Structure 1
Amino acid sequence: MSRRFNTAGPCVPAKHYMIPALERLPQGPGLVGQQAYFVVHAPRQTGKTTALRALARELTAQGRYAALYFSCEVGATAGEDYGAASRDILTQIRFNAEDHLPPELRPPAWPVESDASLLQGALRAWARACPRPLVLFFDEIDALRGQSLVNVLRQLRAGFPERENRDFPWSVALCGLRDVRDYKAASGGDPSRLGTSSPFNIKLESLRLGDFTAEEVAELYGQHTADTGQRFAPGAVEYAYELTGGQPWLVNALAREVVEKPQVPGDKMITSGHLEDAKERLILARATHLDSLAARLAEPRVQRILSPVIGGDLLPLDPYNDDLSYVRDLGLIDVNAPVRVANPIYREVIVRVLSASVQESVTANPRSFVRPDNSFDFPKVLTEFAEWWIENGEFLSKGGFYHEVAPQLILMGYLQRVVNGGGSIAREYAVGAGRVDLTIRWPYTTPGGTRDVQREAIEIKTWRATKADPLHQGLKQLDRYLDRLQLDTGTLAVFDQRPSAAAIDERTAITETVSPGGRVITLLRG
């Protein structure tokens, strides 16, 4: 059976291209050897289940431990009924033990206990009966909610001292989307307090499963080349890493979109252009992975972090900022400073989701902005946007939940609507500079058959209360952006968000000005 790029469920070495699972969690065996109770967390679809299952198999196969992986997701439907949650988890443990452990290592009949100590009593009986030290991986632990989660954690904590005499599991890993500090929010506690990891203050380490490195992406794609002979063009693998930031699901989905969907023939190289087209299809298809992230954008905790990031403002990487830790654990932002969206694909998804209502409200026909020679009539776009902004800007700015960056989202949504189908938009959030940079790319063929790519650069800034007019700073920043793009001219959009701003119809205008670098710049004020 030929291997393929996997985007659904755990990876299987015989079926899927994959980075060796144990290489992704190298600290695991050492922590088990220390009798540690620890936490493994990572965003969804990064390979946690694959790594944990492999670690459990390896530990058991070595003959020293009885290690078992299982999911707590079955207990999610129990809600606050912690007895029912414990019974669901114990049922899952028994099923998985029958599938993955030899008979002598499987649990005995569970003892009769009260609901409050059901899990503790069962694990104690199993640890005492098992001829090897017992190692358990509780995956999807944060699927439990309220008192069900608190009860499970408390029972593990109560049994923790007994492990020294082999009267309780030797080592336990709690695995989920979030770090242990966020379990309090899931259990109904105060999510703003990070001073303690209670109710699981026995954890020795908290491990975060990272994204693929550039070398691992090359290794994964190289497996496809080795199996099929199909090569990646120079720069293509590097471009895949740039687009995905190494996020494992995105790395696999991007390649799968190229080799399986509109299949690139095996005798042809996969180019950066193929990957760019695949990226756009993934975004438009709104696959489950991307949809699950998009659903988080309405959460206040996420909004408080992403709003300044979208606006280009600097946000300190404070490890004790609960909102920041939460959004980072979701995988939406990079783990390193400065605070920024994790990768270009997520960046694009975020803006398109947040500006979707704007796109739907734009009635202009995109084809009306195509000139007879098939080039893009960008001056006409700006003129019609200014008229549309006067009519709709105030209403849309006040109606959205990302109101602090509403002008940026509104302009980007309008441009996305009129560019859609013929061109593309590349976005950069200039972190710490208070601006958003956009480049419109419009490939076209003239009636005479000449091919060209038109590029238009736009910088968006806002004028807020207590701040000076950002015009001069914006022109200097735009000069640097145009230098990088090697363009002679561009557009600066400045939106006045001060309470003292003039009426929208009085302040909205399109003029020309000259940048410090001597370029003629189109200035849109709104």
Structure 2
Amino acid sequence: MGYMVTGYVSRAVSSAAVLNRFTLGGSLIHHPRETAGDDYAAAQRAILDTIRQRAEQALPAELRPPPFPPASDTGLLVAALRAWAEACPRPLALFFDEIDALRGQGLLSVLRQLRSGFPERPDHFPASVVLCGLRDVRDDKAQSGGDPSRLGTSSPFNVKVESIRLGDFTRDEVRALYGQHAEETGQPVTDAAIARAVELTGGQPWLVNAMGREIVEKMRVPPGEAITAAHVEEAKERLILARATHLDSLVARLMEPRVRRVLEPLLEGGFAGGDTYDDDASYVRDLGLVAPDRPLRIANPIYREVIVRVLASPAEDAIAVEPRAFVRPDGRFDVERLLREFAAFWREHGAVLAGRMPYHEVAPQLVLMAYLQRVVNGGGHVDREYGVGRGRIDLLVRWPYAGEDGKRAWQREAIELKVWRAGEKDPLPKALTQIDAYLDGLSLDTGVVVIFDRRPGADPESGTRFEEALTPSGRRVTVLRA
């Protein structure tokens, strides 16, 4: 094994069994807010306390660390690990999970000591160390104020042999994984369920496993009942609403300037560019928020949903509507009422709510999506599409109802969001061409275009109005200008 390997995003390894080696896994610190920051002595003591606690829980006496020797505040960690390596009958391989929970001088001190122990391995220091977290260790420089001009050296970060990210599962790998459950329990997993799981997760390993666990352990689908695409859809909603640990860790990064510089134009469908854009995009790829290949896009539909819901939550908290009021007597979703009531809501509250949005450039779109989510959350789904170069956000409302034959059917409504900014031409002609192609792909005859006028001096109250328009192919479109 190499000495220092950094892993990020998936946190796939929290413990492991390595032949002829002893491996101890576990979180250094349970939450970033519990880190010691610049109190590097406190940071080291927290790490050593966690190591001893986990070792006493999981290891036989002969493999546990001896009493840690006294040392200066700058060398507590290296002294303790040296003593353990010398006393342990097996080479040590340590996995430090959530290493990026450390900040400032605490992080610098830990990295310096791990690097200084390298020449002494394996007899006098751990043979291998794996740093697990959401970031590549090189990106911890920015989190620690660790640029060479301030440190005088970048050596604390020159600790890695390789950065490893667990790649996304392929469809065949997801099929094989879920197939193991089917073989062990006899509970079949339908092809449609596997296809939907791959589509929603993008093959992201944690999400694939969390989806299966949610269905089997939390939803408790009876073993005699096949797992279907409907179960996968429900599991997706439950994971998003529960904001499971992995999703919450990603959400915590949304306000970082580097992440915002990439995601804000991505949500709008534009392109930021600039001298630092490529580095920022690379950083966000390392976090796993965007796909590893081009074009730049959010990694999977679950992340798309989580990101928008979190960013739109300040507006959603202010929306007081009764979702069932938007259901017609025949069970179908009342799109016309949605548009009318949103227009009234925007006239009264739009400017104030848009000012509260964390991503100002896409504030109007976030307010509408919050309103839509609040209304549709009564039983339907909202699918979102956005990406660099699209210049718009495409929404698809899917609403279940009972058809004429009494069987379940799906109503689909397509909505396109555009923004009219200063110095630009009226975006409606382009929007009609774009939604024409969108409707064609969905085999729909009608759609909705919402244009937010963000030009200086635009008045949401007097400027909100409806129009009717036709796409180039003759499809009827309702236009809301707000």
- TM-score tier, shorter chain, comes to 0.7 to 0.9
Q: Which residue of 2 aligns with 1:388?
A: 345
Query: Contact 1:181/1:197 (CA < 8 Å) preserved in 2?
Result: no
Task: Sort the Cα spacing of 1:100 and 1:317 in 2 relative to 1 into closer, same or farther, 3 A.
Answer: farther
- Aligned-residue sequence identity (percent) comes to 59
Are positions 1:359 and 2:316 aligned together?
yes
Q: Tell me by how many angstroms 1:449 deviates.
A: 4.7
Instruction: Return the alpha-carbon distance in structure 1 between the equivalents of residues 121 and 410 of structure 2.
Output: 67
Q: Secondary structure at the match of 2:43?
A: helix
Query: Contact 2:297/2:388 (CA < 8 Å) preserved in 1?
Result: yes
Q: Which residue of 2 aligns with 1:116?
A: 74
**What is the aligned residue count?**
479
More deviation, 378-387/115-124: 115-124
Instruction: Return the alpha-carbon distance in structure 1 between the equivalents of residues 44 and 342 of structure 2.
Output: 58
One-letter amino acid of the counterpart of residue 142, structure 1: D
Task: Sort the Cα spacing of 1:192 and 1:263 in 2 relative to 1 into closer, same or farther, 3 A.
Answer: farther
Superimposed CA distance per residue, residues 336-358 of structure 1 (whole angstroms, 9 cap, x where no aligned partner): 22222221122112222222333
Are positions 1:302 and 2:267 aligned together?
no
Q: Which residue of 1 aligns with 2:168?
A: 211
Are positions 1:175 and 2:132 aligned together?
yes
Task: Sort the Cα spacing of 1:200 and 1:491 in 2 relative to 1 into closer, same or farther, 3 A.
Answer: same
Superimposed CA distance per residue, residues 205-242 of structure 1 (whole angstroms, 9 cap, x where no aligned partner): 11123333322221221111001111112221121111
Q: Secondary structure at the match of 1:349?
A: helix
Are positions 1:155 and 2:155 aligned together?
no
Q: Secondary structure at the match of 1:123?
A: helix
Cα RMSD of the aligned pairs, angstroms, is 3.3
Q: Which residue of 2 aligns with 1:36?
A: 3
Instruction: Return the alpha-carbon distance in structure 1 between the equivalents of residues 309 and 229 of structure 2.
Output: 22
Query: Contact 2:24/2:94 (CA < 8 Å) preserved in 1?
Result: yes
Query: Contact 1:180/1:197 (CA < 8 Å) preserved in 2?
Result: no
Q: 1:120-269 to 2 correspondence within 5 Å?
A: 120-127=78-85, 133-163=91-121, 166-189=123-146, 198-269=155-226
Q: 1:85-104 to 2 correspondence within 5 Å?
A: 85-94=43-52, 96=54
Q: Which residue of 2 aligns with 1:503?
A: 459
Instruction: Return the alpha-carbon distance in structure 2 between the equivalents of residues 84 and 143 of structure 1.
Output: 14
Q: 1:459-474 to 2 correspondence within 5 Å?
A: 459-474=416-431
Q: Tell me by how many angstroms 1:79 deviates.
A: 4.2
Instruction: Return the alpha-carbon distance in structure 1 between the equivalents of residues 408 and 22 of structure 2.
Output: 65
Instruction: Return the alpha-carbon distance in structure 2 between the equivalents of residues 505 and 92 of structure 1.
Output: 58
Superimposed CA distance per residue, residues 45-70 of structure 1 (whole angstroms, 9 cap, x where no aligned partner): x4121xxx22xx22xx33xx555445
More deviation, 366-375/234-243: 366-375
One-letter amino acid of the counterpart of residue 128, structure 2: S
Query: Contact 1:510/1:525 (CA < 8 Å) preserved in 2?
Result: yes
Instruction: Return the alpha-carbon distance in structure 2 between the equivalents of residues 507 and 213 of structure 1.
Output: 49
Task: Sort the Cα spacing of 1:363 and 1:150 in 2 relative to 1 into closer, same or farther, 3 A.
Answer: closer
Task: Sort the Cα spacing of 1:208 and 1:192 in 2 relative to 1 into closer, same or farther, 3 A.
Answer: farther
Q: Secondary structure at the match of 2:386?
A: strand
What runs of 5+ residues in structure 1 fail to find an aligned partner? 1-31
Query: Contact 1:348/1:427 (CA < 8 Å) preserved in 2?
Result: yes
Q: Secondary structure at the match of 1:267?
A: coil
Superimposed CA distance per residue, residues 308-333 of structure 1 (whole angstroms, 9 cap, x where no aligned partner): 22212246799975543443344332
One-letter amino acid of the counterpart of residue 8, structure 2: H
Instruction: Return the alpha-carbon distance in structure 1 between the equivalents of residues 245 and 58 of structure 2.
Output: 29
Instruction: Return the alpha-carbon distance in structure 2 between the equivalents of residues 42 and 191 of structure 1.
Output: 26
Normalising by structure 2, we get a TM-score of 0.87
Are positions 1:475 and 2:432 aligned together?
yes
One-letter amino acid of the counterpart of residue 525, structure 1: R
Q: Tell me by how many angstroms 1:365 deviates.
A: 3.5
Query: Contact 2:385/2:395 (CA < 8 Å) preserved in 1?
Result: yes
Instruction: Return the alpha-carbon distance in structure 1 between the equivalents of residues 149 and 342 of structure 2.
Output: 41
Task: Sort the Cα spacing of 1:191 and 1:247 in 2 relative to 1 into closer, same or farther, 3 A.
Answer: farther
Query: Contact 1:317/1:339 (CA < 8 Å) preserved in 2?
Result: no
Task: Sort the Cα spacing of 1:131 and 1:47 in 2 relative to 1 into closer, same or farther, 3 A.
Answer: closer
Superimposed CA distance per residue, residues 117-157 of structure 1 (whole angstroms, 9 cap, x where no aligned partner): 23333434454566665443333322333222211211222
Q: 1:75-90 to 2 correspondence within 5 Å?
A: 77-90=35-48
More deviation, 234-243/307-316: 307-316
One-letter amino acid of the counterpart of residue 522, structure 1: T
User: Structure 2 residue aligned with 1:47, among 12, 16, 22?
Assistant: 12
Query: Contact 2:262/2:277 (CA < 8 Å) preserved in 1?
Result: no
Query: Contact 1:48/1:209 (CA < 8 Å) preserved in 2?
Result: no
Instruction: Return the alpha-carbon distance in structure 1 between the equivalents of residues 22 and 245 of structure 2.
Output: 35
Q: Secondary structure at the match of 1:175?
A: strand
Q: Tell me by how many angstroms 1:479 deviates.
A: 0.9
What runs of 5+ residues in structure 2 fail to find an aligned partner? none
Query: Contact 2:111/2:159 (CA < 8 Å) preserved in 1?
Result: no
Q: Tell me by how many angstroms 1:71 deviates.
A: 4.3
Task: Sort the Cα spacing of 1:390 and 1:169 in 2 relative to 1 into closer, same or farther, 3 A.
Answer: same
Instruction: Return the alpha-carbon distance in structure 1 between the equivalents of residues 261 and 441 of structure 2.
Output: 31
Instruction: Return the alpha-carbon distance in structure 1 between the equivalents of residues 372 and 75 of structure 2.
Output: 59
Instruction: Return the alpha-carbon distance in structure 2 between the equivalents of residues 101 and 383 of structure 1.
Output: 65
Q: Secondary structure at the match of 1:252?
A: helix
